Structure 1
């Protein structure tokens, strides 16, 4: 689907999402894009980077954004392609919210003095908004982690391991994407894809600062989640050890009556065999020996946690 958006007389913004073969051919033949740059822009596995084709006058920015629809991957690349007075945005189903921002750019991005906007201004405004989305998501993860940690203090559950694992996985994706985004933005400061003025250069710096802040927040959140996860794993292991100690101790104690009753069940002559209170005496012997084993285990602090 190709969605042209007329921002002003300076440029046209075209959003490309899940295009058909006919639309693909239109991008190549009518808009004069190259297959190589088109492939880079639509590759779901591309890392954040800058690609420039001077011969065909095409510049491409790959930028990693958060996905809202895919539980397996928390981030996905979006392509910003510059060609003459046009700028193309390549999105997918996983980044559909970016498509919605683009088609409502005038109101969502709140572009100042729309009549004077250049393609780079619109893309920088979009990248700034997408970068701040990371901060919101990381804050949500931190709040979720705090809830899990609070619940673990009163009611440890094994399901918490899965919850913490999901948080760790998301943070790994965020860390990787923010790192590559930051590197790309720093390259953009040194090598702009199009000529930029001082205000635009300052805007790029603001995005770099936000991206670095998100990177630091994600790293801290990841460290905290990892420590909580390790502490919880240690708690589970400790509880398991205590359970095994309990079962081992009482297995030893309960073995004594079995041994005594086994002796008196043999077809041989044993003490108290003909005594009128022989079975009561046998029970007393079992209790005494069991208590003795218990006392020995208690002496060596076998029951202490």
Structure 2
């Protein structure tokens, strides 16, 4: 899908054709749509299609007549029937008099620009637009990181209650997401560092301040990712220890019960042997069976008391 936008008098509207000062938004374009734009604007089609490859890494490429900026942005996906987060590439192509964005999804980062919710947004000020996109991406990373931390807190609060193995899997998924975020944020940081050195990209004086803000936000997101990874790792270790401890308690309880139950089994086994009844205590007594049962019960109670005293039960 291809849409063309242009800002005039601080308001954005959609255009029917490509012209100077427009923003061309390409959302999961087909090969034919990419070829059409590439031929009309003299762009390598591989540079347009690069953002559609999930394995593409963040980078900047200076080509004759245009500049390709490829960064990773956060997005929502459904994993194991649950809401999860991952990263996808976003391609930004800067031409002399227009800008092109290419992405596999209608990301909320660009959706705010379409709705005119970003202050001082202009399709004619290309570098400011790029920095605003990167600033929104870093802010969205931080927002999703806070959501991930809330999920960790929810799992941590259940540790004292009904903790299950599924919580360990949930923590593992959170940790995997943070790995994706950390990798993408570091790669984006390299792109931002290179943007500070390129003189070819025309900038307004206030754009440099915005770039500094983007770099700070990106570094803060990287720091948050590192902190949350450490916390989640500690939570996972705590959860594993709690589960192991509960399993040990169950095994200790079952072992104690087995010991106690072995007492009447041994006594009844001895009395079941085919030997002379005269040698067996209470064998010839009128109430011998009841006496033996009472003695067995007392021995079991004594064993239970000893086990409880030794904190084995």
Same fold (TM over 0.5): yes
The one of 82, 103, 107 aligned to 1:96: 107
The one of 233, 236, 250 aligned to 2:243: 236
- Give the deviation of 1:99 after TM superposition: 4.5
In the alignment, the residues of structure 1 paired with residue 31 and residue 139 of structure 2 have an alpha-carbon distance, to the nearest angstrom, of 34
Equivalence map 1:116-265=2 (5 Å): 117-153=124-160, 155-158=161-164, 159-191=166-198, 194-265=201-272
More helix by share: 1
Moved more, 124-133 or 273-282: 273-282
More strand by share: 2
Q: Any idea what SS the aligned residue of 2:41 has?
A: coil
Q: Any idea what SS the aligned residue of 1:7 has?
A: strand
| Mapped contact 1:101–1:108 kept (Cα < 8 A) | yes
In the alignment, the residues of structure 2 paired with residue 192 and residue 276 of structure 1 have an alpha-carbon distance, to the nearest angstrom, of 110
| Mapped contact 1:111–1:125 kept (Cα < 8 A) | no
User: Structure 1-normalised TM-score?
Assistant: 0.86
The residue number in structure 1 matching 2:94 is 82
Q: Unpaired runs of 5+ in structure 2?
A: 9-18
The residue number in structure 1 matching 2:76 is 68
- When residues 70 and 58 of structure 1 are mapped into structure 2, their CA distance, relative to the original with a 3 A threshold, is farther
Q: Any idea what SS the aligned residue of 1:217 has?
A: helix
| Mapped contact 1:10–1:118 kept (Cα < 8 A) | no
Q: Any idea what SS the aligned residue of 2:25 has?
A: strand
Aligned residue pairs, count: 295
In the alignment, the residues of structure 2 paired with residue 173 and residue 125 of structure 1 have an alpha-carbon distance, to the nearest angstrom, of 22
- Give the deviation of 1:282 after TM superposition: 2.2
C-alpha root-mean-square deviation of aligned residues, in Å? 2.4
Residues 52-76 of structure 1, C-alpha deviation per residue, up to 9 Å, x if partnerless?
Answer: 22xx322111111111244465111
The residue number in structure 1 matching 2:55 is 45
- When residues 301 and 149 of structure 1 are mapped into structure 2, their CA distance, relative to the original with a 3 A threshold, is closer
- Give the deviation of 1:212 after TM superposition: 0.4
